[in-house]
Structure 1
Amino acid sequence: MAKKKTKFMCQSCGYESAKWMGRCPGCGQWNTMVEEVEIVSKAKGPRGAFQHSSTVSQKATPIMTVETAEEPRIETEMDELNRVLGGGIVPGSLVLIGGDPGIGKSTLLLQVSALLSNRGLRVLYISGEESIRQTKLRAERLGVQSPELYIYSETNLELINQTIEDVNPAFVIVDSIQTVHHPEVTSAPGSVSQVRECTAELMRIAKTKNIATFLVGHVTKEGQIAGPRLLEHMVDTVLYFEGERHHTYRILRSVKNRFGSTNEIAIFEMVQSGLREVLNPSELFLQERAQGATGSTVVASMEGTRPILVEIQALVTPSSFNYPKRMATGVDQNRVSLLMAVLEKRMGMLLQAQDAYIKVAGGVKLDEPAIDLAVMTSIVSSYRDVPVKAYDCVIGEVGLSGEVRRVTRIEQRVSEAAKLGFKRAIVPSSNLGGWDYPPDIQIIGVENVNDALKVAFGE
């Protein structure tokens, strides 16, 4: 006979408590503890646990005797998606895709379903938010027609499991995981318990039946995937779909990948017929760059294994407040404050009475140290009201003493700049040796910020 008992669980981090508390001890957030009914049965073990090999007794194996092989992959016709996934879809993998409402998650997965089903691979698209008719109307707008694409509208996990048994697909898409509920879990759909148990069951199905499964996840107002943090640890790959709803460009970013490198990005353009790949993002981000404008510098940034040229803009104006403003979009605001302090201390620029606004054009987020020198060049260009030469590309990390430090993969960065017609590349002097220079671009090495600014402004 099952015994019922109640517990209080934080809907943000999954912290459990026997009594209600106003503030969660785990994450520190207020009013997130919700009462849930837990069913404990002596006849059954913990529900939702991954029991792929529970019936087989295994022994510890020396690592030297374990045989490995390259993971098999199924490539889609979307080269951008293949790059983010590490070369293609791995059978039996569990992929989580998060993003803001209306950003294009369902559109992307429906297009991927069409590409896979057109190759004769059976795909089951499970929608917990739309009816079958609504999904069909969306598919007609995207031109998706395939006899191997099955659509199913259901939120009950037991019925979903039975449908997977009947259809026997090679790929399963669940849109979204927050709408799916397990009938034996008494909490509401989208709660920590439901998300954890449903994800564990879908992971068991994916691993035991070797079915590649895509899960769509809602995000909170802070931009994090809703539900417990455990959700991102359970899956094999976590992708974030970024972009502004009022802009046409979308960025699919990999933040976790057990089968490939992280921080890879794919860029798509939202058009009437769906999402279209952007094969040359550097040209896209620079096509609207104003010629001769002050406060504009181009930098070659690495996103995973791909170099991308982006424009960093700066606007420095006298402040009318006691405390000047420091605002940044696409770069860390603390990094901007640090670089401005280096300019004040090492270059003698009086920036403490200036408002500074930094922006990365195109909506890209940059977090690598190789953009430091370009940010400083943009700030100095706006402060002096002198433009940077349009054919210059600035690359380098800056230390607190004003030195320009070595960056990684300098050859790929410079080659991308030469491909787009840039004539000069200002790089750290420690990066000059050991690689072949492209013939159409001049490589200038600098040791500190003072030397870089002299080169950039022709002093």
Structure 2
Amino acid sequence: MAKKDQESYRCPACGYRSPKWMGFCPACHEAPEGLVPEESPGGRVERYVREAAGGAAESRALPISGVVVGDLPRSSTGLSEFDRVLGGGIVPGSFILLGGDPGIGKSTLVLQTVANLAREKTVLVVCGEESPEQIRMRFDRLEAGKKKTSGLFLLPETDLSLVLAEAARLSPDILIVDSIQTVFLPEWTQSAGSVIQLRETAATLLEFAKRSRVTTLVIGHVTKDGTIAGPRVLEHLVDTVLYLEGERGQPLRILRTAKNRFGPTQEVGLFEMEEGGLVEVTNPSAFFLEGRDPGRPGSTVVCGMEGSRPILVELQALAAPTSLPMPRRVTQGVSSNRLALLTAVLVRRIGLDLSGMDLYLNVVGGVEIEETALDLGIALGVVSSVRELILPAGWVVVGEVGLAGEVRRIPGIIERMAEAARLGFSHMVGPVLPSGKSRPLPRGIVYHPVSDLRQALAFLEKPSSSEKKAPSSVGSPR
């Protein structure tokens, strides 16, 4: 290559670029022979064009009309909540990344899944963090592990080259790597879990999954802020990114999808951690409302949407006098910024005096909902707590609140009404429905449209004047 094409130099280990040659890499200190010349982008393009013109080109553009699309074959995991998050099941050849905090239940969820799949398919689990004996002990404790599984194999290995050699010999239908931070490629000198190893091992596994049509699921650690540890390239490479979330000491586990090339995103699956493993929560609204005591100031029932699923939860607001110069605003399950915004609206538009009060807001059950459709329920809960008023039992509140105090439209209002009616609620307060709406309203529930906060606050009553009773039972939590 001519010297005029050498516009920069790069590190062969981490990709660091420099306009001049250096005998070491100042970024990773891993290049013992120094930086190597890098061909300019223009020179690369010219070379690629010359090489393609000189031989038979393998890549040809296809008209979109000539691309045949069929239904994706899927395999059920045996867990309906897991299938929901994946978009209907596992797609052959897909690359799935599962992340979550240590000890949250990632390996337990994977073991329960492969126990169901291994009855008809061959599953290879790469044990990078635990020994086969430890996995067998956990497997025997699970309810799914008590059923006969003949296609489950364990491989205690961290060298990815040996893992792929064994996978080629065994020809599994599903490959599980626990975890991606423990495997390495021997041709790279960096330790397992480094940026280079994560990038190269993930790219190698991706190529193996696509070439051999083997469904590959890798487990990844997360950082303190809840993202997958390592470079963001992991999330860009894979087909599906899943997060298993939950609070320590709480049985609820939430499986979220952040990316899915074969199905919808923002879907959630709900599980409850028990002695025999993770148990599906197929009726989440009943689960979150179980044990609710209606008729309390500050308590409102709201309906949020998690993906395509409406979920009813209880919001509890508490206003307490304070002597602090700066009153506290504490939230659990919703954004603190949202509470601050709604507090300003209540003070400015309604005239509510909150200057000497601490505000505490909690979503019962440990679930986090960031949807703005909870705004109206939050506002009514705060007013209910401050003025010692209650929302009549059997009522649900939905709607987004603007800075002018107006109640704005939200998506999925019909689905929310249907879920509330199914749980036995008889009234719903929400935004004005769009004119000319063709879909009929669900039976068994009365809808009360409001255009601003003042209209919604009119439904709050004194505790002694409320005679309606809430549903005595909201069904089984599962």
Give the TM-score range, shorter chain: 0.7 to 0.9
The one-letter amino acid paired with 2:58 is: S
C-alpha distance in 2 between matches for 1:123 and 1:158: 18
Distance in structure 2 (CA, Å) of the matches to 1:378 and 1:321: 23
Q: Distance in 1 between matches of 2:283 and 2:388?
A: 31
* Aligned twin of 1:104: 105
SS at match of 1:435: coil
Aligned structure 1 segments of 4 or more residues deviating by more than 4 angstroms? 5-9, 15-19, 37-42
Distance (whole Å) between structure 2 residues aligned to residue 349 and residue 38 of structure 1:
68
Equivalent position SS for 2:181: helix
In 2, Cα distance between the equivalents of 1:136 and 1:157? 22
Amino acid at match of 1:302: M
1:442 match: 446
- In structure 1, the residue matched to 2:140 is 140
1:150 aligns with 2:173: no
User: In structure 1, how many angstroms separate the alpha carbons of the residues matched to 2:61 and 2:333?
Assistant: 47
> CA offsets, 1:289-328, max 9 Å, x none?
2232221111111100111001111111223211111121
Task: Find the aligned partners of 2:305 and 2:77 in 1 and give their Cα distance.
Answer: 24
When normalised by structure 1's length, the TM-score is: 0.88
The within-5 A match list for 1:150-299 is 150-299=153-302
Q: What is the deviation of 1:222?
A: 1.3
Paired position in structure 2 for 1:402: 405
How far did residue 153 of structure 1 move? 1.0
Secondary structure of 1:253's counterpart equals strand
Per-residue CA deviation, residues 416-454 of structure 1 (Å, 9 max, x unaligned), is: 001111111001113584332222111111111100110
Cα separation, 2, equivalents of 1:452 and 1:36? 64
Note if contact 1:38-1:186 (Cα within 8 Å) is conserved in structure 2: no
What does residue 424 of structure 1 align with? 427
**Deviation sequence 1:364-389 (CA, Å, 0-9, x none):** 11111211101111111111122222
Tell me if structure 2 keeps the 8 A contact 1:426–1:446: yes
Q: Is the 8 A contact 1:6 1:38 kept in 2?
A: no
Which ranges in structure 2 are unaligned for 5 or more consecutive residues? Answer: 1-9, 20-26, 38-55, 466-478
CA contact under 8 A between 2:77 and 2:114: conserved in structure 1?
no
Q: 1:41 to 1:207 in 2, by over 3 A?
A: farther
Aligned to 1:454: 458
- Alignment RMSD (CA, Å): 2.4
Structure 1 residue identity aligned to 2:316 = Q
Instruction: Quote the Cα distance in structure 2 between the aligned partners of 1:220 and 1:175.
Output: 17
Q: Give me the whole-angstrom Cα distance separating, in 2, the residues matched to 1:329 and 1:191.
A: 35
Q: Which runs of 5+ in 1 are unaligned?
A: 10-14, 20-32, 43-54
Secondary structure of the equivalent of 1:111?
Answer: helix
Normalization by structure 2: what TM-score?
0.85
Question: Could you tell me which residue of structure 2 aligns to residue 333 of structure 1?
Answer: 336
Amino acid at match of 1:347: I
- 1:377-392 alignment runs, 5 A limit: 377-392=380-395
Given residue 428 of structure 1, which amino acid in structure 2 is its aligned partner?
A: P
Deviation readout 1:39-73 (Å, 9 max, x if unpaired): 9999xxxxxxxxxxxx9811122333322222211
1:25 aligns to what?
Answer: none
Amino acid of the residue matched to residue 288 of structure 1?
Answer: G
2:73 is the alignment partner of 1:69 = no
In structure 1, what is the equivalent of residue 354 of structure 2?
A: 351
Q: Which has the greater radius of gyration?
A: 2
Question: Which whole-Å CA distance do the structure 2 matches of 1:438 and 1:203 have between them?
Answer: 46
Q: Distance in 1 between matches of 2:166 and 2:255?
A: 30
Question: Equivalent residue for 1:121?
Answer: 121
1:89 matched to 2:82: no
Contact conserved, 1:251 with 1:267, CA < 8 A, in 2? yes
CA distance in 2, matches of 1:231, 1:203: 10
- Aligned-pair CA distance for 1:234: 0.7
- 1:110-134 superposed Cα distances (whole Å, 9 cap, x missing partner): 110010011x211111110011111
How much identity, in percent, do the aligned residues show? 46
Alpha-carbon distance in 1 for matches of 2:116, 2:17: 47
* Separation of aligned partners in 1, 2:32 and 2:139: 40
SS of alignment partner, residue 103 of structure 1: coil
| Alpha carbons 2:429, 2:448 under 8 Å: kept | yes
Once the 2 structures are TM-superposed, how far is the Cα of residue 18 of structure 1 from its aligned partner? 6.4
Listed one character per residue, the Cα deviations across residues 215-257 of structure 1 (whole Å, up to 9, x for unaligned) are 1000111111100011111111111100012111111011111
